[in-house]
């Protein structure tokens, strides 16, 4: 109790002039921090379990980041890789990071030069680090390799596609550009008109959905989910279709699928009171979450039933 009293969180952030959503969020934060120190507000709350699950999820996210980067960095053959699908995934990731960086820059424009420099440099550095796997994806699908000329001059060289890679591209080409464009446009329209406005399939625990005034509005941030999610789904669908045609599993390590399943399980625990107890600030389950779950199930099925392709298999067989 002495420890709890020493880090007791002030409940003054809960104000009657705030929305119900903000009050519930502030109350939950206070209960969480006090519960970690040993002072639980309810017998059926388990704040330490919530923190443990969040830490485990973050660790798994870092592990998957490095595994993904390793996969694409060591990939030397595009056999059974959907080039157009991969580029859609890269485009979505670049757009997401770019939007976040642009918002950070705009928020700091009112400060002085040195403060701007202090903000810009870490933002650019973090963006470059986060996008390292995407740079490796571009290098792989464009069949670029680094070569050192005389004088230690580093340059990129394009490697022509071999027979198996060209055959793989022809299989991927069976999905017509018209179909791909139609799927993307349909998802964009559905996401903007329907999914973004649809009610939660599993309603929030003890609060109303956040109102518009609960978050500062930003046109790019508000529109980005409606655009980025369809791009990612279209890219995943193209890779899954090519996996089905080649009867092989490519695009990621199978270990990444295992980690994604564990991450999904940890994230879903928030809906199970027997595990995390009472969580008044629990968010609802949206249509986006259902779509992501379906995509994960398909990925798990392919990982279990299809044979993995090594990162150099197409090149080795050609040699």
**Which residues face 248 on adjacent strands?**
307
Closest CA to 319 of 77, 140, 143: 77
Tokens matching residue 230: 């369809």
Q: Which two tokens stand for residue 261?
A: 């399943």
With CA atoms as reference, report the closest residue to 269 among 56, 38, 28, 35: 56
3 state DSSP class of 155: strand
pTM metric for this prediction: 0.77
Distance CA 179, CA 234 (A): 11
The whole-angstrom separation of Cα 96 and Cα 239 is: 21
**227 contacts: CB under 8 Å, gap ≥ 6:** 95, 188, 191
- Whole-number pLDDT of residue 219: 63
What integer pLDDT is reported at residue 67 of this predicted model? Answer: 94
User: Closest by alpha carbon to 24, among 200, 208, 199?
Assistant: 208
Q: Which residues pair with 307 in a beta bridge?
A: 248
User: Which phi and psi angles does 110 have, rounded to 5°?
Assistant: -80, -10
Q: Which residues pair with residue 311 across a beta bridge?
A: none
Q: Helix 219-246 and helix 83-107: axis angle, to 10°?
A: 160
296 sits in which H/E element? helix 287-305
Closest CA to 283 of 216, 214, 227, 204: 204
3-class state of residue 297 by DSSP = helix
Compute the distance between CA of residue 72 and CA of residue 87 in angstroms, rounded to an integer: 13
Which residues does residue 149 pair with via DSSP β-bridges, in sequence order? 153
SS3 assignment for 217-277: CCHHHHHHHHHHHHHHHHHHHHHHHHHHHHCEECCCCHHHHHHHHHHHHHHHHHHCHHHHE
pLDDT of residue 223: 64
- Torsion, Cα of 86, 87, 89, 94 (10° steps): 140
**Sole residue written with tokens 């309603």:** 203
* The pLDDT value given to residue 71: 93
**Cβ neighbours of 249 (radius 10 Å):** 22
Token representation of residue 249: 């599993």
Q: What is the pLDDT along the chain (319 residues), one digit of tens a residue?
A: 333 333 344 444 555 556 666 666 777 777 777 767 766 666 667 778 888 888 999 999 999 999 999 999 988 888 889 998 999 999 989 988 888 777 776 666 655 555 666 667 777 788 888 899 999 999 999 888 877 776 677 777 888 888 888 888 888 888 777 777 777 776 666 665 555 545 555 555 555 555 555 555 566 666 666 778 888 888 898 999 999 999 999 999 999 999 999 999 988 887 887 787 777 766 767 777 788 888 999 999 999 999 988 756 555 555 5
């Amino acid at each position: 109790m002495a420890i709890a009293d020493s880090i007791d969180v002030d409940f003054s952030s809960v104000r009657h002039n705030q929305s119900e959503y903000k009050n519930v969020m502030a109350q939950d934060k206070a209960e969480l921090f006090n519960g970690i120190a040993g002072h639980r507000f309810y017998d059926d709350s388990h704040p330490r379990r919530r923190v443990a699950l969040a830490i485990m999820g973050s660790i798994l996210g870092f592990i998957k980041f490095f595994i993904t980067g390793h996969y694409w960095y060591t990939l030397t053959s595009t056999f059974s890789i959907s080039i157009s699908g991969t580029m859609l995934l890269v485009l979505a990731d670049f757009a997401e990071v770019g939007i976040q960086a642009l918002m950070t820059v705009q928020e700091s424009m009112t400060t002085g030069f040195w403060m701007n420099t202090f903000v810009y440099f870490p933002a650019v550095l973090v963006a470059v680090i986060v996008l390292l796997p995407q740079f490796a994806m571009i290098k792989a699908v464009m069949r670029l390799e680094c070569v050192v000329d005389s004088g230690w001059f580093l340059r990129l060289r394009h490697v022509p596609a071999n027979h198996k890679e060209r055959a793989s591209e022809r299989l991927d080409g069976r999905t017509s550009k018209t179909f791909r464009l139609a799927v993307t446009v349909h998802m964009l329209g559905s996401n903007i008109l329907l999914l973004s406005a649809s009610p939660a399939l599993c309603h929030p625990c003890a609060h109303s959905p956040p109102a518009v005034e609960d978050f500062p509005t930003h046109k790019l941030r508000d529109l980005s989910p409606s655009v980025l999610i369809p791009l990612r789904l279209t890219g995943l669908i193209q890779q899954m279709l090519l996996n089905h045609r080649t009867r092989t599993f490519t695009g990621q390590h199978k270990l990444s699928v295992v980690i994604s399943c564990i991450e999904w399980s940890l994230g879903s625990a928030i809906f199970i009171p027997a595990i995390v107890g009472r969580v008044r600030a629990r968010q609802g389950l949206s249509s986006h979450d259902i779509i992501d779950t379906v995509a994960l199930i398909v990925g798990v099925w392919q990982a279990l039933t299809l044979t993995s392709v090594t990162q150099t298999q197409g090149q080795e067989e050609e040699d």
